[in-house]
Amino acid sequence: MEIAVTVNGQLRRADVEPRTLLVYLLRETFGLTGTHVGCDTTHCGACTVLLDEVPVKSCTVLAVQADGSSVMTVEGLETDGRLHPLQSAFSDHHGLQCGYCTPGMLMAAWALLRETPHPQPAEIRRALSGNLCRCTGYQNIVEAVADAAQRMAQEVG
Amino acid sequence: MFPAPFGYVRAESLDEALAVLAREGPGAKILAGGQSLLPMMKLRIAEPALLVDIHRLPALTGWQETAEGLTLGAVVRHSQLERAEALQEFYPLLGRTARWIADPLVRNRGTVAGSLAHADPAGDWGAALLALGASVTLRSLTRTRELPLDAFLVDIFTTALEPDEVLTAIRIPKPAGRPFGTYLKLERKVGDFAVVGVAVNVVLDARHTVVEAGIGLAGVGPRALRAPAAEAALIGHPLESGGIREAAALAAEAADPVSDRRGSRAYKRNVVRVFVERGLKALADESRPEVGVTA
Amino acid sequence: MALELSEPRPLGKPIRRKEDARLIRGQGRYLDDIVLPGMLHLALVRSPYAHARIRRIDVQRAAALPGVHLVLTGQDLAAAGLAWMPTLAGDRQMVLAVDKVLFQYQEVAAVVAESRALAEDAAALVEVDYEPLPAVVDPYRALEPGSPILREDRDPPSNRIFHWEAGDRAATEAALARSAVVVRETVRMPRVHPAPLEPCGCIADYQRATGRLTWYVTSQAPHAHRTVLAMVAGIPEHKIRVVSPDVGGGFGNKVPVFPGYVAAIVAAMRLNRPVKWVETRTENLTSTNFARDYHMTVEIGADADGKVTALKVSTIADHGAFDAAADPTRFPAGLFSIVTGSYDFPVAFAEVDGVYTNKAPGGVAYRCSFRVTEASFLIERAMQSLALRLGMDPVALRLKNFIPPEKFPYHSPLGWTYDSGNYRATLERAMERIGYAALRQEQAERRARGELMGIGVSTFTEIVGAGPSHTFDILGIKMFDSCELRVHPTGKVLARLGTRHQGQGHETTFAQVIAEELGLTADDVLVEEGDTDTAPYGLGTYASRSTPTAGAAAAVAARRVRDKARRIAAHLLEVAEDDVEWDGTRFHPAGTPARGVTMAEVALAAYTNPPPGMEPGLEGTVYYDPPNLTFPNGAYLCVVDIDKGTSQVHVRRFVAVDDCGTVINPMVVEGQIHGGLTEGFAIAFLQEIAFDEQGNCLAPNFMEYLVPTAVETPQWETDRTVTPSPHHPIGAKGVGESPNVGSPAAFVNAVIDALAPLGVTHLDIPLYPWKIWEVLHERGVAE
Ligand SMILES: Cc1cc2nc3c(=O)[nH]c(=O)nc-3n(C[C@H](O)[C@H](O)[C@H](O)COP(=O)(O)OP(=O)(O)OC[C@H]3O[C@@H](n4cnc5c(N)ncnc54)[C@H](O)[C@@H]3O)c2cc1C
Ligand code: FES
Ligand code: FES
């Protein structure tokens, strides 16, 4: 089937089988390998992307379901070569080790901060509870997100 | 893990979806949020020949609040109810249930109607909507019928849906007084189905007497269960500790769990009792403004 | 907050990780991100039965599917002599089953097709006719006479793989007989899985014309993999290049060689096209290497005052269908003999029997040095039981029995020489941090009100850094590690090591070690690992061995380079070598600090103006063979509250004080500790690969294998004491695994402490709420 999806601001077209999952459209057809796959049962969140600005598990969305929508992946976080405050904060607070969960965490955190600009630690933990990390124990991720929230508030203010 | 090959139709209207279902027979399946169906297809537990995608059908999105009650469209997502502050006044149980389902990402896709159609015995919406006395609208090309949820839910992963039918709406009657409701869930971790889920909903009149009561149970039977004796025990009385304890004990009796890796039958039954008691106590506290505790 | 890479004198500072720059942009390059021209995809057909005879395999329908290039069965491999492969433990393992399958999900056939989806379609079409056989699931049953013999290929036929023992049995038994108090407990550490977020996978790229195999693989130990491959596939070792790209977590899972790897290589060689195999999560959890599954019985003796007298341990180790553990060759039970822990036992004895069952093969070290988590869990649980029996505070019991600082180096009754430690200081720091006395007071008050609150203690000693080559080898290969260091003319450095990080931050921490020695910044040092064509030989990254071995190699290599640099500096400064001083960033003549030269200036001279008679260049290569292991330790205290209605356990506080010697990068160390504590928490409360009586795996995916999310994971409070290792060049000990080793007992001891007034001394992990409820219910105290 022919589909058209706006990915990180660029309109892209592809011809896919209905069974193609969105994550493989991104990774294999569009070469955006920052979005990862970590499970078969929709539990890990390594594949999290924003679909029309809403974070979803792209392993559990068909590519054909994204036809006409916009998708943002980790590759779309930087603007004009500048890191998103979340990206810098993850590095500053050592919120990543192997980095496999990181793109998904960043996208889920992005959505949280858009809706809740000043989240409490418990809210951050809840918002990231669809994303598993096997390395960090989450604590530095929570700190990174809280700090990014502050930086973003300062940028705006 | 990849689903076996299948055909795909994105329905442009409800009638088109119904027509495709009528034409294709049981090999065709409705695709709503896909959060139960796609994982099963990836594991190749389900191999439908054709998916009829309704998840963006305008006719099925959103909800309507009227004097009679609330009507949820078939593709209302868990996350929408989680955030629907406007519904808190008359339907507080909805938001408090939604926040327990799966994880935030799954909630952004999965639908309430899809949950009911999927009929996982540990699904949370069955219990909550039974407590709210909900009914469902089922449509095929040739007929429309309305069933109480209690009649819709049949058995493990089994409902009254015919292969050519779509669940198009969920109706919840308007409470006849001030409603209070909450959901308690024992899960092993976020993203786990309920070991035990308990929905409690009471409607109080101006004199703090219970005029309507609903108790729904998840994970403790082959389908979501109601606890009618417990509900009856509450009606006509104020929410007080004696009645609460009695209702809790009756609800535990209504539960019919199996022993498995999530716990023994006795354990799950006891959790039902504990949760009903805690839930009703929390509602009692909430209903007394001077205490003002929120669950 | 991280400091920038340009920070001078970086050792011991929280330097920002170099790996972050690519990983936060989604520009990491993990195995599955690699696409080669003409690449095909492999999927495996797996057994639905735990034990069955294979009557017939029919591949016709699969082979006929358009887009399918090859279907391989065990018969095909047998014809090439490849139906079996050696394991790192010296056993052998079927690549594709021939006559019999020995565990559910065992590899039976391989299909290669144009796409992954097609390969899976074809795999579903392979028809296998099985005759189910009775499965042996319980390892105790496996040893009973009359139990079916699982490995008919072994001589003599027996389900016992090995018997191993350490210590003095007679003296231990005699001492126990004389002891005023003896406590006996059976403690099970169930089967768990490391489950790194990135599953395992490989791409085999074989060029028939040159006979060269490039093998991309998610590997913690690329050199070991190359050597094993050369042995299995018969490809000359210099024609194999193993490349381990960014690795999405390992935790022990990515040490062994798996059947899917061999199948991909065989397919690539047959087809002369690159073949990729990436396992699914289900395949990962069901077939590629579990950990633990130790069934331990302990007897601990003490005199009436609580001074320990003897320790005796008997263990049944369930290795599954093949012994695919990655233990050093002479240590089939790993370093389990660290089981005397932090305590000064006069005598001890430990024995382990390895057993075959109809379960997936393995026995890897999951975020721990070989079998050390099992040992640590056992001794820390035994100390809890002993404290209960004696009516002593568990902290007091430990303080009484710690190996005192003056006894180091300490010779343990089971044969180890502990390098250093100050156990009392570490525990006291933890008690202070958590406010131990006040907590005991609060507990007494809560108990009086009928509430269930517990305080758990674990004061563990780890043993890491395998290891000295006189004792440690894997398949004969000594367990040293290596560093090759080149200083370029402008003073920038390339360092290559035999290890392979998977999130530990070696690109940064090893750069810090080298930069510190050479007076540079971490930014000046590029660390490369993971390509066997360029990296010097080394055994890889697991068992917390990288810092003790490769980290040491890096420091020593840098020191060698600095020695040469000093001679060049003398030449540049026109003074005698003995008159050159090194101030940490510059060489200068003694007493004249103003007139110095930097490493960059020296490096340029090394290539442009070396002293007469000196070989140009500035390089050093070191193969570091550690004189001993290192013994990190820690004191963990945990506070829990138990809900009497649901029996859920809430971890209210957890204080971890670690002593891992010299700290290279405190931010990285803290991150490692958070991660390890989270794993320990998961093992104590959630994760288990369970089986039913037919040998069906009950936790084949993340629905049932319960990995904690941010919501369940407690908030960690960390601190440290520093007792440097006397024999490590910079005094570091290795830390990645201590928290996973030390913490499970702290959680369990806290729960047992809460339940102790009810007479409870033990519960098996994972501590699901229902297990606790059954006890509360039985004692009549459940809500
Ligand atoms: C990791 C994970 C955790 C989860 N945890 C929970 C949990 O804790 N509690 C819980 O309740 N649920 C949980 N779920 C399930 C989730 O709530 C799903 O969203 C829900 O069960 C199905 O809704 P859906 O819209 O995604 O349906 P789909 O997956 O699209 O469909 C499910 C089934 O219902 C049918 N169907 C869907 N809509 C209709 C309709 N309108 N008319 C007729 N048939 C229809 C489909 O044909 C299919 O057979 C979890 C799911 C995942 C992946
Ligand atoms: S890959 Fe695990 S949730 Fe999508
Ligand atoms: S950093 Fe490795 S999984 Fe999160």
Which CATH number goes with the domain that contains C223? 3.90.1170.50
Buried b or exposed e, range C531-553, using 16+ CB within 10 angstroms: bbeebbbbbbbbbbbbbbbbbbb
**Domain boundary, last residue among A41, A76, A111:** A76
| Backbone dihedral angles phi then psi of residue B131, each to the nearest 5 degrees | -65, -25
CA distance A28 to B37: 23
Statement to judge: residues C718 and C755 lie in one domain: yes
Closest CA to B217 of B154, B167, B272: B272
pLDDT score recorded for residue A21: 98
Of the candidates A19, A60, A129, which has its C-beta nearest B35's C-beta?
Answer: A60
Neighbouring residues of A109: CB distance < 8 A, sequence distance ≥ 6:
A86, A124, A127, A128, A141, A145, A148
Task: Give the amino acid at C343.
Answer: Y
The sheet with strand B210-218 has its strands ordered as B178-186, B196-204, B210-218, B225-226
Statement to judge: residues C620 and C582 lie in one domain: yes
* ipTM of the complex, rounded to two decimals: 0.98
Q: Compute the nearest-CA separation of A68 from chain C (Å).
A: 24
pLDDT score recorded for residue A99: 97
Taking the Cβ of residue B176 and every Cβ of chain C, the question of whether any pair is shorter than 8 Å is answered with no
Report if residue C655 sits inside a domain. Answer: yes
Which chain C residue's Cα is nearest to B39?
A: C703
Report if residue C340 sits inside a domain. Answer: no
Residue C641 tokens read as 């509250």
**Domain boundary, last residue among C584, C599, C624:** C624
Report if residue C90 sits inside a domain. Answer: yes
Q: Do A18 and B108 touch (CB under 8 A)?
A: no
Q: Pairing between strand C40-46 and B225-226? A: unpaired
- A57 Cβ closer than 6 Å to some ligand 2 atom: yes
pLDDT score recorded for residue A139: 98
Statement to judge: residues A64 and A117 lie in one domain: no
pLDDT score recorded for residue C543: 59
Three-class HEC string of C146-206: CCCCCCCCCCCCCCEEEEEEEECHHHHHHHHHHCCEEEEEEEEEEEECCCCCCCCEEEEEE
Contact between A42 and A60 (Cβ < 8 Å): yes
CATH of the domain at A150: 1.10.150.120
Statement to judge: residues C495 and C526 lie in one domain: yes
For ligand 3, atom 3, which residue shows the shortest CA distance? A133
Strand partners of residue B212 = B203
**Is residue B290 scored above 60 in pLDDT?**
no
Statement to judge: residues A43 and A109 lie in one domain: no
pLDDT score recorded for residue A157: 65
Statement to judge: residues C456 and C491 lie in one domain: no
Statement to judge: residues A90 and A108 lie in one domain: yes
Going by pLDDT thresholds of 50, 70 and 90, the confidence category of residue B292 is very low
pLDDT score recorded for residue C733: 86
pLDDT score recorded for residue B293: 47
SS3 category, C381: helix
Task: Give the amino acid at C473.
Answer: D
Domain count for chain C: 3
Question: Lowest-pLDDT range, A73-77, A93-97, A136-140, C81-85?
Answer: C81-85
Statement to judge: residues C406 and C507 lie in one domain: no
Averaged confidence pLDDT in chain B: 96
pLDDT score recorded for residue C325: 84
Which stretches does DSSP call E strand in C229-289?
240-243, 275-278
Statement to judge: residues C583 and C723 lie in one domain: no
Statement to judge: residues A96 and A63 lie in one domain: no
CATH of the domain at C617: 3.30.365.10
Report if residue C747 sits inside a domain. Answer: yes
Question: Lowest-pLDDT range, B51-60, B73-82, C260-269, C460-469?
Answer: C460-469
CA of A22 to the centre of ligand 1 (A): 18
User: Using one digit for the tens of pLDDT, what is the confidence trace for C458-476?
Assistant: 999 998 887 788 788 777 7
User: Using one digit for the tens of pLDDT, what is the confidence trace for A73-92?
Assistant: 999 999 999 999 999 999 99
pLDDT score recorded for residue C478: 79
Q: Which residues span the domain enclosing C64? A: 34-133+198-248+254-287
CATH of the domain at A19: 3.10.20.30
Statement to judge: residues C230 and C278 lie in one domain: yes
Q: Do C28 and A34 touch (CB under 8 A)?
A: yes
The terminus-to-terminus CA distance of chain B in angstroms comes to 41
CA distance C565 to B155: 80
- B218 Cβ closer than 6 Å to some ligand 1 atom: no
Mean pLDDT score, B189-218: 97
Residues of chain B in contact with residue C706, where contact means CB-CB under 8 angstroms, are 188-189, 192
- The whole model's pTM is what? 0.97
**Higher-confidence position of C220 and B171:** B171
Count of residues making up chain B: 295
pLDDT score recorded for residue C544: 63
Going by pLDDT thresholds of 50, 70 and 90, the confidence category of residue B294 is very low
Going by pLDDT thresholds of 50, 70 and 90, the confidence category of residue C526 is very high
Residues of chain A in contact with residue B190, where contact means CB-CB under 8 angstroms, are 126, 129-130
Chains touching B (at least 3 CB pairs under 8 A) are A, C
Contact between B30 and B166 (Cβ < 8 Å): yes
Contact between C310 and C383 (Cβ < 8 Å): no
Averaged confidence pLDDT in chain C: 94
User: Using one digit for the tens of pLDDT, what is the confidence trace for C44-78?
Assistant: 999 999 999 999 999 999 999 999 999 999 999 99
Question: Lowest-pLDDT range, B204-213, C220-229, C235-244?
Answer: C220-229
Mean pLDDT score, B185-200: 97
Statement to judge: residues A31 and A58 lie in one domain: yes
Q: Do C769 and B186 touch (CB under 8 A)?
A: yes
- A128 Cβ closer than 6 Å to some ligand 2 atom: no
User: Using one digit for the tens of pLDDT, what is the confidence trace for B90-102?
Assistant: 999 999 999 999 9
Statement to judge: residues A106 and A62 lie in one domain: no
Residue A157 tokens read as 């203010």
Q: Which residues span the domain enclosing A124? A: 85-156
Mean pLDDT score, B194-202: 98
Closest CA to C31 of C343, C248, C287: C248
Residues of chain C in contact with residue B4, where contact means CB-CB under 8 angstroms, are 121, 124
Domain count for chain A: 2
CA distance C631 to C464: 6
SS3 category, C742: helix
Statement to judge: residues C670 and C769 lie in one domain: yes
Pocket-testing residue among A100, A138, A140, A145, ligand 3, by greatest number of atoms within 8 A of Cβ: A100
Going by pLDDT thresholds of 50, 70 and 90, the confidence category of residue B225 is very high
Question: Lowest-pLDDT range, B201-210, C12-21, C402-411, C461-470?
Answer: C461-470
A125 half-sphere exposure, CB direction, 13 A CA radius: 17
- A135 Cβ closer than 6 Å to some ligand 3 atom: yes
Statement to judge: residues C597 and C653 lie in one domain: no
- C626 Cβ closer than 6 Å to some ligand 3 atom: no
Statement to judge: residues C692 and C760 lie in one domain: yes
Question: Lowest-pLDDT range, C106-115, C165-174, C722-731?
Answer: C722-731
Strand partners of residue C636 = C458, C656
